[in-house]
Structure 1
Amino acid sequence: MTVQVRNVEIKNRAQALAEIAAVGADRAGCRLMAPKAVHRVLKVSGLTPIQANILKQEMLARGGEAAVARGVVEHRVNRTDVLLMGTLKQFEGLLAKLKMQPFGLPALAEEIRRVLQNLEGRRVFRLDCRGRELVLGERTLVMGILNVTPDSFSDGGRFNDPSRALEHARQMVEDGADIIDLGGESTRPGYTPIPVEEELRRVTPVLEKLAGEIPVPISVDTTKAEVARRAMEAGAHIINDQWALRADPEMAAVAARYDAPLILMHNQQGTEYRDLMGDMIRFFRESIAMAEEAGVCRDKIIIDPGIGFGKTLEQNLEVMFRLRELDCLGLPVLLGTSRKSLIAKTLNLPVDQRVEGTAATVAIGIAAGVDIVRVHDVKEMVRVARMTDAMVRRGKRDNY
């Protein structure tokens, strides 16, 4: 037999155990070696020089590495980021030592532990959507877009009539949609905000028809707490907030009162960032804290990176490239790229010719672990999702 050397990609502890067992190692050896086969790089922000120096010393003592700002040793900087690099085994030793240290390091150890656990992969679980159920993590779910607006960039005015909207929703469900996302206010660039009553006038008649005839959960795409409340009363199941509780502080209370799953999308005015992914994750942590403080269960929260919102073309592309970094939050991820300017500007194509571009973003998103894709072209994207799932969600069905 010819000797062969090749690389093996190991993303988490479970894969490490499987690969080590495949070599023929005994069970005790598998458990001991698995944490040494998984390497993690974590970025910790906002540490004092004292905290950073202890962190670096303890990581180096275990054979790992830690990068800090120049001047940390001499305390010439007030704050620093730290890049920690090591195996799970090295991190385990680090956390054990940090728990015995002062300077707020036990709390930091617990946060590092949570992030490491989140990076092991999201569990498959059943999400109760006010009586209708979604299974998250087993396969990619497809959310079909239903806009009842006169000015949406892609389908403005097509489904304003409740009967036409119901017909379109039925077709999307037949094509494989797992969720219908109903929106009454356009968020296209340069859109004109509308008052609560106008949004309700558009949404309510359609929602009343859908709630009685559509078998899948219906989400209401709104930034207004009163619209969300009235939608819940009319039979909606999920709240999709494009401002992640920032536009209306009462939104979290509505989600808690009706025990509705809550989608939090990243959004901001302007496109200035200190650290693109770091700033986005900080934004999500703040919104998640707002939701939990209002009584929303963390298991009911879904995050959306907000492609096309508060980002330049290059920033949108970078977020797509770095979607895996959202794994640190341990929450389901929804991705909405369908027919957006990200595709238009990259391929120089009009709205009605962006199916292939959308398919590429959907496939990349699923490969990066997203749980739900929000799309216009349901039939085509269901096929993309099923094919991509077959390649990247190996073993999920067996684990369910």
Structure 2
Amino acid sequence: MSIQVRNIEIKNREQALAEIAAIGADRTGCRLMAPKAVHRLLKLSGVNPKQANIIKQEMLGKGGEAAIARGAADGTVEETDVLLMGTLKQYEALMAKLRLQPFGLAALAGEIRQVLQNLEGRRPCRLDCRSRSLVLGERTLIMGILNVTPDSFSDGGRFNDPERALEHARQMVADGADIIDLGGESTRPGYEAIPEDEELRRVMPVLEKLPAEIDVPVSIDTTKAGVARRALEAGAHIINDQWALRADPDLAGVAAGYDAPMILMHNQQGTEYRDMMGDMIAFFRESMAIAERAGLCRDKIIIDPGIGFGKTLEQNLEVMRRLRELDCLGRPVLLGTSRKSLIAKTLHLPADQRVEGTAATVAIGIAAGVDIVRVHDVKEMARVARMTDAMVRRRDIPAG
């Protein structure tokens, strides 16, 4: 019999241990070899030449690699990005050396360690949503969209009547929604902002009844601290901020005061980026820092890459391809692609014919590790999520 050669995919230390153990290696060998089986590429930004040269020298000395700008060696550039390439074993040795170095490199070692830990994967956890809770990480959760706006791009005006809105929410829960996301202000392209009193006029008649009508958490989709406060007082459980605390910094204090989880969505004016994924990750870190300074625990934060916001079609598709890069933040990820323009512009279809396109984005998102999908078509997307989870998360599927 000839020797067979094939590749296997190793995503983290746990998988490496399992593969090495399956070979029949002894326990000590498994423990020593697993960090050598996981390879990571990390990108550092804003590194000065002195720091870059030390990092490169130390990484090369451990058998890894570090790419820096040509001008960093002779100091002809003020800053450089650094692309580190190595195994977990090599990173451990690098961090040990950096902790002994000046020029801020000891602190950098801690940052590298945190990112490497985040890339090992998010464990299932329970998210306290005030009087209710969600388990994140066991299966993909479905957030059903409930717009009480006259001008939303997909369903504007359909649920303006509070009774119709409540009926739709109940139906979404019956169809498999784990969260209901209530919004009173459209964010479609070209929308006009509305005053706080108008947003409250739209959402409060629904919020006065909704939490008691359904047994899943209710999210309030707003950028305004005043609206969020009234919503939480009425029984809402989560705040979904499409400007990630940039539109109203007081929103962070409201979330902290009510101990409410926050969804922070990436958004910006225009579509210019220096390094799109790097810029997005820096944006999230800044928003999380704002939330933490206000007293909101990091464990209460969920991030949303903001598909369709501040991005061209090509940029939206690139984010979808690179969703895994958000893992470095170590936070649960919500994906909102339902019926959006990337589907319209790719398939050239109106809003009411984008179910299949939405399904493709939901499946790709789940395969990339997202925890929550925000959708209009709850029944269909719950089925897509369950099927994708069976392949990606390898959870047991009930018989029948």
TM-score tier by shorter-chain length is: over 0.9
| Cα contact 1:223–1:243 (8 A) shared by 2 | yes
* 8 Å CA contact 1:162, 1:209 repeated in 2: no
C-alpha separation between the residues in 2 aligned to 1:163 and 1:198?
19
**Counterpart of 2:387 in 1: which secondary structure?**
helix
Q: What residue is the counterpart of 1:200 in the other structure? A: 200
Is 1:108–2:111 an aligned residue pair? no
Whether the 8 Å contact between 2:389 and 2:395 is mirrored in structure 1 is no
Larger displacement relative to structure 2 (168-177 or 387-396)? 387-396
Q: Which residue of 2 aligns with 1:269?
A: 269
Aligned pairs for 1:251-270 within 5 A: 251-270=251-270
Deviation at 1:3, TM superposition (A): 1.9
State the distance in 2 between where 1:318 and 1:24 align.
41
CA distance in 1 between partners of 2:310 and 2:101 (Å):
40
Shift of residue 2, structure 1, vs aligned partner: 3.8
Task: State the partner residue of 1:31.
Answer: 31
What is the deviation of 1:394? 2.7
2:310 equivalent to 1:310: yes
Give the partner amino acid of 1:118: N
Show the counterpart of 2:297: 297
The equivalent residue for 1:179 is: 179
In the alignment, the residues of structure 2 paired with residue 209 and residue 155 of structure 1 have an alpha-carbon distance, to the nearest angstrom, of: 21
CA distance, structure 1, for counterparts of residue 395 and residue 57 of structure 2 = 39
**Shift of the alpha carbon at 1:73?**
1.0
Q: Distance in 2 between matches of 1:292 and 1:394?
A: 34
1:122 aligned partner: 122
**What 5-or-longer segments of structure 2 have no aligned partner?**
none
The residue that corresponds to 2:73 in the other structure is 73
Total equivalences in the alignment: 397
Alignment partners' CA distance in 1, 2:396 and 2:367: 14
Report the CA distance between 1:316 and its aligned residue.
Answer: 0.2
**TM-score, scaled to structure 1:** 0.98
Give the AA of the match of 1:190. Answer: G
State how far apart, in whole Å, the 2-side matches of 1:193 and 1:389 are.
Answer: 38
Give 5+ residue unaligned stretches, structure 1: none
Describe the superposition over 1:2-34 as per-residue Cα deviations: whole angstroms up to 9, x where unpaired. Answer: 421110100000000000000000000000000
Provide the rounded CA distance (Å) in 1 between the counterparts of 2:91 and 2:394.
27
CA contact (8 A) 1:178 1:217 kept: yes
State the secondary structure of the residue aligned to 1:85: strand
Contact 1:39 1:85 in 2 (8 A): yes
Secondary structure of 2:208's aligned partner: helix
DSSP 3-state at the match of 1:145 = strand
8 Å CA contact retained: 2:154, 2:339: yes
What residue is the counterpart of 1:356 in the other structure?
356
TM superposition shift of 1:268:
0.3
RMSD: 0.9
1:242 aligns with 2:242: yes
Provide the rounded CA distance (Å) in 2 between the counterparts of 1:78 and 1:233.
Answer: 51
In the alignment, what sits opposite 2:216?
216
2: CA distance, partners of 1:207 / 1:6? 56
Aligned to 2:97: 97
Cα deviations across residues 30-83 of structure 1 (Å, max 9, x unaligned)? 000000000000000001101000000000001100000011111111111000
Q: In structure 2, what is the equivalent of residue 366 of structure 1?
A: 366
Q: Is the 8 A contact 1:137 1:396 kept in 2?
A: no
Identical positions, percent: 83
TM-score computed with the length of structure 2 as normaliser: 0.98
* 1:393 match: 393
Are positions 1:56 and 2:77 aligned together?
no
Counterpart CA distance in 2 for 1:340 and 1:207 is 26
Amino acid at match of 2:47: L
- Following TM superposition, the consecutive aligned residue runs of length 4 or more in structure 1 with deviations greater than 4 angstroms are none
CA contact (8 A) 1:324 1:369 kept: yes
